[in-house]
Structure 1
């Protein structure tokens, strides 16, 4: 769910069938993402592909972080395992 438009469409579709919709967004700095991807690349699971630093950088520029206004459109988190996530 990289763009606001994509998240809006999925949220609307879910609500149309009566589902609650919770968005969990973890704002992780690029350096931390690269650290995690590097560890993943070192132990690539079968059937996956290597993600280069350049790929991650290019993709990170495409991501539209949700705004406070957008986050307010979602249901509140109520499951104990996810409460407290930001």
Structure 2
């Protein structure tokens, strides 16, 4: 089951395309790290418009589509601006 984490931070949405978007695993107490099967981020502006970010390697859930984040493997997962496709939420 997916966990949904909501973070309320002040971000200037006018500059979203000027800086890299990524998830970072830091100071995890789990010695095995994080196993990501899916990662999507939505940034909502004050006017309720949304900007979606995704990692293309995790778009479809499958046994071979997992990324581990840990000190040994790498702690960052780069996200790209998602392109809306017809029929996708």
- Please identify which structure carries the higher helix content: 1
The structure carrying a bigger strand percent of its residues is 2
Rg larger in structure:
1
* Same fold at TM > 0.5: no
- TM class by shorter-chain length? under 0.3
Q: Which has the higher contact order (CA 8 A, sep 6+)?
A: 1
